[in-house]
Structure 1
């Protein structure tokens, strides 16, 4: 009996232990289920959060793309209206299109040595057009449009206001730098003539300003172009102040809406853009005032001026605030390049509104600029230039004589070629454009400008001692 009682007791103990173990197992299982539920919920929350973030990113990307497309459409509309308007104006320089290089294209060129580029074309471009390429390093080359692509396997003889891939041929065999500007707008080929100021690089970049303003590389190229630009603006000359060929000039200002009592100096990339605003003033009250960036930087950061604005009445206006101007002027590269640059303000004789005999009207007399004229050295570059000039002169009955000198101006870096051509004034632009197209590809990084023989004061004296390259018999 005792044995039976012990066995029963042992069985009771075992059942008790088994019951406790089962309870522990059930508790552990419950805890595991709870942990798994927590992990699953956390994973679900993380997935939901990731999905929400992905949705937000997609919406943000969609918003950015939509804004870019809207900006592109606005730019195309603005440029189209502007180019259509300017091409119909009797004073137009005949420009048809601008295209900023976004980068090289993946398409293979038909010509082995040709290059392919793509970008938005503002205005009308034709297959066969001779075009000027304005690079970010401020050099200019000429090329020819060999092909126009509007899409995969879609070719066109002409295209207007759309994204394009174009094939170019010419002396240049290297890829065109990003943010170069392709256009048929003729370069500034003549010095000291406000009518010839065109700023194609600035104008071409400005059409893309709303699309690329946040791009640091684009902004750097644009600022560099602005610093090296030449501008025109409105000014009033006080006739009563004229003495010894000089007098007081008042530069027009417009209100800066972002600064209390602030004033901006409105400047224009060319005379045509300025003429669009001229209706706001009485013509007899204003004159044309050419300004370099150093001159503009001086006057647009003094008194109440808070900077300047380029083309305030379109096609695209760009405001340059005083703090950015001052930052630029503090840069060592700027100081080195523009050390000694003329910051006085002058008005050329013969400009609209300037009385005869007034050579300059200054707000603070301009510094005298030393000009040095040199005989070109017999380099391969000069020999090629001389040959191109001679060939073009022989084919053009309007040219009576022509020669080339080297010109160096104090305060400006390097030297450039000055081509002096004796031709009638009424064919000056046409003649100089043909010469530029023939000669510019041969000048490397050197600039070349053109002047009519009868406007160059030293021409007779110089060519009495140095032989002309061409003289009509």
Structure 2
């Protein structure tokens, strides 16, 4: 889906918008990932009559072996772990049962649970799911890395593009950056970009004219990578063993960056892989305009974005309490603590459970304390940033609600009474 000039070009007009941007650093000449990676894009499924697993057919990219533990990814559902029991592979127009296969059409017998119904364009890979983004753990996008291998084979199928759109919109990407000041590592071992640091993003020139590019301009694309192995294929990115800084961007971050100016005509995902994926901005506009995308990522509550400041309606009884202990709430508390420590203008953060007595709907409430002179315009960027931090780790929470300390006495009283359990951070 596009060829690229390998000469890198830095765009030095973008600036860091916050102090705690996720970074990954790596020595690309010494820390090479030599692990075996493979993926299969499913285009057919047969259930065994004896109930002993399922037979799936599709195109294999990489090398697979009998007995491999694999994960099945389908849009909108959690990954399912299973094992490869048998492999039938195509070799020179003939098929045969083999113990391993590489870069060919295959049929696999898998130990899938009975309740799992595989769909066309499911992705099977040996790369484990990454439930949350952690700047101390190398980024992975197994489903996206697998599905884009089919860009040439299935490019005429709308169903395939719908699957690509889902995995792209849920992706978190690596992109190399240049900075005019080195980041600092905080007490949690996370690299932190200092305020007012200028960041330069890279550009690649597509040799194919992308839709929406003016006739008198080249099609420049933002290079994005699903994992470090794909990034390391960029020859000449570093010299003399130097480290490369990368920023972790969600698709929503990427789309906002592209729409802030006219420097880019689109994105290139894994541009130095055997099968790159080039998506022009009109393609991305189509993704963000779908009802499914708008329902999940679009503005909520009459244009207020992902955030909602809590207001208690007259006559409506709201019950406030301490969130139940669990993996999710512990992760949320840790993220809120980290965010508070890295922002001097946040004086305190509290975390509560909110229950509407009449509907019994349970939500969670984040209470923020800012300088008295702060206006809503000063507060909203923090609310949006906190939402972006919590979204990857939140499983049961589909909306983050906010209250400002000092605005609602009833909330302040509850927090004061249960400060040990509710106050996550205080300056």
TM superposition score category, shorter chain reference: 0.5 to 0.7
Q: In the comparison of the two structures, how many residue pairs are matched?
A: 276
- Does the CA contact (< 8 Å) of 2:131 and 2:392 recur in 1? no
SS in 1 for 2:121: coil
| Match status 1:127 vs 2:66 | yes
SS in 2 for 1:211: coil
- Does the CA contact (< 8 Å) of 1:235 and 1:289 recur in 2? yes
Cα distance change, pair 293–244 in 1 and its aligned pair in 2 (3 A): closer
Cα distance change, pair 286–157 in 1 and its aligned pair in 2 (3 A): closer
Candidates 36, 39, 44, aligned match of 1:103: 44
Match of 1:307 in 2: 266
1:217-296 matches, cutoff 5 A: 217-239=159-181, 245-257=195-207, 258=209, 259=213, 260-277=217-234, 279-282=236-239, 286-296=244-254
Task: Give the deviation of 1:290 after TM superposition.
Answer: 0.6
Task: Give the deviation of 1:133 after TM superposition.
Answer: 0.6
Name the CA distance, whole Å, in 2 between partners of 1:231 and 1:121. Answer: 23
Candidates 149, 166, 176, aligned match of 2:118: 176
Task: Give the deviation of 1:110 after TM superposition.
Answer: 7.8
- Which structure 2 segments of 5+ residues have no match? 2-28, 185-192, 300-304, 308-340, 354-385, 397-419, 422-427
| Match status 1:160 vs 2:102 | yes
More contact order relative to length (CA 8 Å, sep ≥ 6): 2
- Does the CA contact (< 8 Å) of 1:119 and 1:163 recur in 2? yes
Candidates 276, 286, 293, aligned match of 1:327: 286
Task: Give the deviation of 1:308 after TM superposition.
Answer: 1.1
**Which is richer in strand?**
2
Give deviations 1:230-286, integer Å, cap 9, x for gaps.
100111111299996452212111224424144211111112211221623457585
SS in 2 for 1:235: strand
Task: Give the deviation of 1:91 after TM superposition.
Answer: 3.0
Match of 2:154 in 1: 212
Task: Give the deviation of 1:158 after TM superposition.
Answer: 2.2
Match of 2:33 in 1: 92
- Does the CA contact (< 8 Å) of 1:115 and 1:173 recur in 2? no
With the length of structure 1 as denominator, give the TM-score of the two structures.
Answer: 0.51
Match of 2:387 in 1: 410
Name the CA distance, whole Å, in 2 between partners of 1:286 and 1:169. Answer: 41
SS in 2 for 1:102: strand
Cα distance change, pair 263–327 in 1 and its aligned pair in 2 (3 A): same
- Does the CA contact (< 8 Å) of 2:266 and 2:278 recur in 1? yes
Cα distance change, pair 203–371 in 1 and its aligned pair in 2 (3 A): farther
Name the CA distance, whole Å, in 2 between partners of 1:414 and 1:199. Answer: 15
Name the CA distance, whole Å, in 2 between partners of 1:236 and 1:316. Answer: 26
Task: Give the deviation of 1:162 after TM superposition.
Answer: 2.2
Task: Give the deviation of 1:287 after TM superposition.
Answer: 1.4
Task: Give the deviation of 1:298 after TM superposition.
Answer: 1.0
Task: Give the deviation of 1:123 after TM superposition.
Answer: 2.0
Compute the RMSD of aligned alpha carbons.
3.9
Name the CA distance, whole Å, in 2 between partners of 1:315 and 1:341. Answer: 37
- Does the CA contact (< 8 Å) of 1:236 and 1:250 recur in 2? yes
Name the CA distance, whole Å, in 2 between partners of 1:178 and 1:371. Answer: 45
Task: Give the deviation of 1:178 after TM superposition.
Answer: 0.7
- Does the CA contact (< 8 Å) of 2:149 and 2:276 recur in 1? no
Cα distance change, pair 207–91 in 1 and its aligned pair in 2 (3 A): same
Cα distance change, pair 160–261 in 1 and its aligned pair in 2 (3 A): closer
With the length of structure 2 as denominator, give the TM-score of the two structures.
Answer: 0.56
Cα distance change, pair 127–256 in 1 and its aligned pair in 2 (3 A): closer
Name the CA distance, whole Å, in 2 between partners of 1:93 and 1:285. Answer: 19
